[in-house]
Amino acid sequence: MPNIAREELKPEESEQLLLLPGGHPPLWNHMDSIGPVGLRQREGAPGCSQEGLPCPSDSSELPVSPQVLACLQQFKVTETQLRQIQASLLCSMEHALGGQASPASSVRMLPTYVGSTPHGTEQGDFVVLELGATGASLRVLWVTLVGNEGHRMEPWSQEFVIPPEVMLGPGQQLFDFAAHCLSEFLDAIPMDKKGLQLGFSFSFPCHQTGLDRVRQSGHGDSGWKVCSPMKAIGGLIQVFCPQSTLISWTKGFRCSGVEGHDVVQLLRDAIKRQGAYSIDVVAVVNDTVGTMMGCEPGFGPCEVGLVVDTGTNACYMEEARHVAVLDEDRGRVCVSVEWGSFSDDGVLGPVLTTFDHALDQESLNPGAQRFEKMIGGLYLGELVRLVLAHLAQQGVLFDGCTSSALLTQGSILLEHVAEMEDTLCPSSPLAGAARVHAILQDLGLSVGASDAKLVQYVCAAVLTRAARLCAAALAAVLSRLRHSRELQMLQIAVATGGRVFERHPSFLSILQETVMLLAPECDVSFIPSVDGGGRGVAMVTAVAARLAAHRHLLEETLAPFRLNHEQLAVVQAQMREAMVKGLRGEASSLRMLPTYVRATPDGTERGDFLALDLGGTNFRVLLVRVTEGGVKITSQVYSIPEYVAQGSGQQLFDHIVDCIVDFQQKQGLSGQSLPLGFTFSFPCRQLGLDQGILLNWTKGFNASDCEGQDVVCLLREAIGRRQAVELNVVAIVNDTVGTMMSCGYEDSRCEVGLIVGTGTNACYMEELQNVAAVAGDSGHMCINMEWGAFGDDGSLDLLRTCFDANVDQASINPGKQSFEKMISGMYLGEIVRHILLHLTSLGVLFRGQQTQRLQTRDIFKTKFLSEIESDSLALRQVRAILEDLGLPLTSDDALMVLEVCQAVSQRAAQLCGAGVAAVVEKIRENRGLEELTVTVGVDGTLYKLHPHFSSLVAATVRKLAPRCVVTFLQSEDGSGKGAALVTAVACRLAQTACV
Ligand code: 0WK
Ligand code: BGC
């Protein structure tokens, strides 16, 4: 931005200056420059034009001294300078929106987390506390919202003057004062005062953490602050409230111990100290937001809120995707510009007068809020005072006499300027001048004949500049809006609030005209806010209250999914106990099935093997070539249609043999009888390596005539039914065992196999002496725990939720596989769906609209959880998935669905971690080791694809088994390779036995 020198007067301008009508001071025609009006009133303009131009009624000309001219000249801002301020402010806005670190002298662009303008449905009684909008006073309101239907109720309100020592004293004193005013106000209100909800309009620059949006700060932590804990299931339920950290005081406030602190908590503590009423601070709102939200329904919605009161600021509805800190890609969010801090010396320097510098130097915050100090009502009076004192000391005003009042900072207030400037075009100029005289005499000044008029021109010059600068800033916001919405023409309603608007009617007209000049492509309607935004704050509070209530219901619903360390340690201990009982053959929900796998591979295995892998997402046939150089796998995936998985056993095994034959043909293996290892991922009581009695189907399989049968026989019979096929079934292994063996081939410390996929289960190398079912007491045997059934004896009932019960009831094996149904991929999506149905029925989600789609079983796939919880595209993902499901969602819904998914998957991972901790601790104690180093071989889609599952399992194991160093090794080739290796070991052992 080029540096602009203070503008020299163009020749035609200097000629104009010398002659003035009726003793009026030299003024400029604002069309090409900014400052008091030109020499003669524009031809044909009406009497007191709304531009604050002198009225022709007083036709007398007023000689103006060069000093006065030079003085008023300083307040001239040219159109060019205005356009540069507009452009520089726009640039600073986009800079800050992009999240780039911005110098203190730029606008702040603070997201307010107000994501929507009022629906009009908001209802209820709300208390509003306004602090900071009107300088040395605070206001309390009781606002009753009646929604669309009801008849509008006038709010009750009361204003309290804040003593200067409170505005400059300790922060606690200020908030105690506010709490005192609150209760004094409420004492007088004849309404029921239980469960009061308060909206705090705090008109200073603050970093907010949320109003109705939860900041995503990683898994499970919503970033909301817990206000007050209350007893509930499993410890705390949390009440949520916003946080708003004060960046810096402005506008005459300078309380200590507040900047950098959460002003909501300071107010809460003060209300508690006051102890008169229990009031919940539900929302904190900037006054511009209250003004925008208070826009009269008939006019709105307003999408810009503009306040010019003691200070000045604006907010507007920005596209959320443009606000870098939000990670949002849809919808809009209200951004508080905080343009008061704009002071790009490059463009403002030439506009800043000596009086501005003087005012800044004497202010509480020199160097800060430079833009605000040229526009805000707190400063206009002071600017006028400094100019008048200067002109008096130059002897061109008040006969060169000053007064102590005139030399006292703050002696000329906004009201004085309003009165004096407003009389510039009174219906009767004399009356006007008399009032100016009265004000100046009150300041102890002797007012000469032309003094009153000159003073009026000073007021007009200061105010006109303020209005123009404000217009330049507003024009920047409008250009930003038009740009971010890619519009040729922007039609917009701007809500205005603040005493400068109320007291200076010319302010709005000058602002309007200048906006039309600077942003001709914007059709702007200005809507004065009715009650200073109190209703708007109540609207926001109503929205926040509704969302806090929704959030409370969400937390109440999800609380049972948030397991703490004690609960997980109980699961670990219960699993340990069930393991011991199962190994002893006592009643236990853990069958602890011997697998007859006694050793993990030692690398000497060799040969070609066929392997089958049934029970996971896919059925695979594999050719596994084990050579010195390693293992080479060729495989083919085949589907097992539901009607086959739930048909007859014969049909199922015939289908399996068909796939084998197809594979052999494709691999040119037809007629070869390779040793075959069968990964059969269902609970089987093995009587030997190649004998496995199916105990019960799981994971949606239910083929008849199989349970209680030796599945190796069923396979051999199917092979027998197929002519010309010869297969040598050597081993049947569970997928956990296959996974352990496959990883054991890479890492000899791998002694545990874990599957978290469609189903879940684990196996590990147990001391043979502990396995009652198998003779021998030396050496090890791999035990298939079948932990999916853990809790089928009711030991998990304390943790089971009604949603788990719904899923279990709807499954084909109710009462079975309890642990699996809280952890594995076949069920997590269904648990989430049932929770979403519940929250919809509570009106928390989807505006309470139940959709057919969401009532469809298995419509919410578990893979959605992995997609939704992926850190990078969280909300976009959520929205895309839910919209595909035809769900009408708001952005709040998207976040709540994300939290539901997080809670369900977190519980699953923690329960899985508690199980692994029980296993590795058993191995460590089996071996009487102080510390155990062990590897767990893992497979399964959920474990592999979910973005956080594996790290949560590992974290839970670290907490529950601190004396075990556990490495999780993801199996690359699945358990088919493991089955082949088990077969290879069996063949090697058989050969050595023959030798
Ligand atoms: C791949 C293994 C297979 C196991 C599956 C489990 O090769 O034996 O059953 O993982 O994961 P899922 O496919 O059920 O997600
Ligand atoms: C089965 C186990 C299997 C696990 C993982 C469970 O449903 O009962 O045998 O290991 O799923 O696939």
Residue 88's pLDDT band, with cuts at 50, 70 and 90, is very high
Measured in Å, residue 32 CA sits from the centre of ligand 1 at 77
Measured in Å, residue 941 CA sits from the centre of ligand 1 at 7
Instruction: Verify whether ligand 1 is closer than 6 Å to residue 617 (CB atom).
Output: yes
Nearest ligand by distance to the CA of 792: 2
What pLDDT sits at residue 548? Answer: 83
Query: Over the range 675-690, which residues count as b (16 or more CB within 10 Å of their CB) and which as e?
Result: bbbbbbbbbbbbeebb
What pLDDT sits at residue 429? Answer: 52
Task: Kindly report the average pLDDT of the chain as a whole number.
Answer: 85
Q: Point out which residues pair with 335 in neighbouring strands.
A: 111, 316
Q: How many residues does the chain have?
A: 995
Is the pLDDT reported for residue 19 higher than 80?
no
What pLDDT sits at residue 221? Answer: 43
Closest ligand 1 atom to the C-alpha of 620?
Answer: 7
Is the pLDDT reported for residue 593 higher than 90?
yes
Residue nearest to atom 7 of ligand 2 (CA): 759
Tell which one of 678, 698, 754 to mutate to probe ligand 2, the residue whose CB is within 8 A of the most ligand atoms: 698
Closest ligand 2 atom to the C-alpha of 680?
Answer: 9
Residue whose entry in the numeric block shows the structure tokens 């009604």: 802
Measured in Å, residue 615 CA sits from the centre of ligand 1 at 7
Closest ligand 2 atom to the C-alpha of 736?
Answer: 10
Measured in Å, residue 114 CA sits from the centre of ligand 1 at 46
What pLDDT sits at residue 53? Answer: 47
CA–CA distance, 476 with 318 (Å, rounded to integer): 13
What pLDDT sits at residue 210? Answer: 60
Q: Which has the higher per-residue pLDDT, 160 or 972?
A: 160
CA–CA distance, 958 with 347 (Å, rounded to integer): 59
- Indicate which residue of 58, 280, 287, 735 is catalytic: 735
What pLDDT sits at residue 132? Answer: 85
Residue 298's pLDDT band, with cuts at 50, 70 and 90, is low
Give residue-wise pLDDT tens across range 832-860: 999 999 999 998 988 788 888 889 999 99
Give residue-wise pLDDT tens across range 606-622: 889 999 999 887 899 99
Residue 51's pLDDT band, with cuts at 50, 70 and 90, is very low
Asked if 327 is an active-site residue, the reply is no
Residue nearest to atom 7 of ligand 1 (CA): 974
Is the pLDDT reported for residue 173 higher than 60?
yes
Lookup: tokens for 533: 């935004």
Give residue-wise pLDDT tens across range 183-196: 999 998 887 778 88
CA–CA distance, 827 with 945 (Å, rounded to integer): 16
Measured in Å, residue 968 CA sits from the centre of ligand 2 at 19
Residue nearest to atom 12 of ligand 2 (CA): 759
Measured in Å, residue 969 CA sits from the centre of ligand 1 at 15
Residue nearest to atom 5 of ligand 1 (CA): 616
Is the pLDDT reported for residue 44 higher than 50?
no
Contact 562, 899 (CB under 8 A): no
Secondary structure string (H, E, C) spanning 522-551 = EEEEEEECCCCCHHHHHHHHHHHHHHHHHH
Give residue-wise pLDDT tens across range 736-763: 999 999 999 889 999 999 999 999 999 9
- When pLDDT is averaged across residues 301-324 and rounded to a whole number, the result is 90
Measured in Å, residue 779 CA sits from the centre of ligand 1 at 29
Give residue-wise pLDDT tens across range 774-791: 999 899 999 999 999 999
Tell which one of 755, 782, 944 to mutate to probe ligand 2, the residue whose CB is within 8 A of the most ligand atoms: 755
- Indicate which residue of 535, 591, 620, 907 is catalytic: 620
- When pLDDT is averaged across residues 464-489 and rounded to a whole number, the result is 93
Instruction: Verify whether ligand 1 is closer than 6 Å to residue 757 (CB atom).
Output: yes
Is the pLDDT reported for residue 479 higher than 90?
yes
- When pLDDT is averaged across residues 213-242 and rounded to a whole number, the result is 44
Torsion sign across C-alpha atoms 861, 865, 866, 868:
positive
Closest ligand 1 atom to the C-alpha of 615?
Answer: 9
Is the pLDDT reported for residue 954 higher than 70?
yes
Residue 958's pLDDT band, with cuts at 50, 70 and 90, is very high
Closest ligand 2 atom to the C-alpha of 616?
Answer: 12
Tell which one of 941, 943, 946 to mutate to probe ligand 1, the residue whose CB is within 8 A of the most ligand atoms: 941
Nearest ligand by distance to the CA of 736: 2
Measured in Å, residue 658 CA sits from the centre of ligand 1 at 21
Q: Is 59 exposed, middle or buried (0-12, 13-18, 19+ CB in 10 A)?
A: exposed
Percent of the chain's residues with pLDDT above 90: 53
- When pLDDT is averaged across residues 265-286 and rounded to a whole number, the result is 90
Closest ligand 2 atom to the C-alpha of 735?
Answer: 10
Asked if 620 is an active-site residue, the reply is yes
Closest ligand 1 atom to the C-alpha of 699?
Answer: 14
Helix (H), strand (E) at residue 323: none
Residue 447's pLDDT band, with cuts at 50, 70 and 90, is confident
Question: Angle 66-73/377-393 helices, nearest 10 degrees?
Answer: 160
CA–CA distance, 242 with 202 (Å, rounded to integer): 13
Residue nearest to atom 6 of ligand 2 (CA): 759
Closest by alpha carbon to 129, among 121, 140, 145? Answer: 140
Residue nearest to atom 9 of ligand 2 (CA): 682
Contact 60, 450 (CB under 8 A): no
Give residue-wise pLDDT tens across range 644-694: 998 999 999 999 999 999 999 899 888 788 889 999 999 999 988 899 999
Is the pLDDT reported for residue 219 higher than 60?
no
What pLDDT sits at residue 106? Answer: 76
Q: Which has the higher per-residue pLDDT, 921 or 415?
A: 921
Dihedral of the alpha carbons of 586, 587, 591, 593, in degrees to the nearest 10: 20
Is the pLDDT reported for residue 43 higher than 70?
no
Looking at 447-456, 553-562, 709-718, which range is the least confident one? 447-456
- Name residue 334's amino acid: C
Nearest ligand by distance to the CA of 678: 1
754 CB-near residues (< 8 Å, 6+ apart): 736, 739, 760, 761, 762, 912, 916, 936, 937, 938, 939, 940, 943, 968
Contact 776, 768 (CB under 8 A): yes
Is the pLDDT reported for residue 218 higher than 50?
no
Measured in Å, residue 758 CA sits from the centre of ligand 1 at 7
Torsion sign across C-alpha atoms 390, 391, 395, 401:
negative
The segment with the largest mean pLDDT, out of 42-46, 459-463, 957-961, is 957-961
Residue nearest to atom 15 of ligand 1 (CA): 757
Residue nearest to atom 11 of ligand 2 (CA): 759
What pLDDT sits at residue 328? Answer: 67
Percent of the chain's residues with pLDDT above 70: 85
- Name residue 315's amino acid: C
pTM for the structure as a whole: 0.76
At residue 572, φ and ψ (nearest 5 deg) are -60, -45
Helix residue spans in 814-873 (DSSP H): 818-823, 825-841, 862-868
Lookup: tokens for 855: 């009532």
Measured in Å, residue 957 CA sits from the centre of ligand 1 at 22
Measured in Å, residue 575 CA sits from the centre of ligand 2 at 17
Lookup: tokens for 303: 């999408």
Is the pLDDT reported for residue 966 higher than 80?
yes
Nearest ligand by distance to the CA of 695: 2
Closest by alpha carbon to 426, among 890, 674, 109, 55? Answer: 55
Is the pLDDT reported for residue 449 higher than 90?
no
- Indicate which residue of 479, 681, 742, 795 is catalytic: 681
Measured from CB, residues less than 6 Å from any atom of ligand 2 are: 615-616, 681-683, 698-699, 734-736, 755, 757, 759-761, 786, 788, 820
What pLDDT sits at residue 90? Answer: 93
CA–CA distance, 669 with 610 (Å, rounded to integer): 10
Give residue-wise pLDDT tens across range 113-123: 777 666 666 77
Q: Which has the higher per-residue pLDDT, 943 or 71?
A: 943
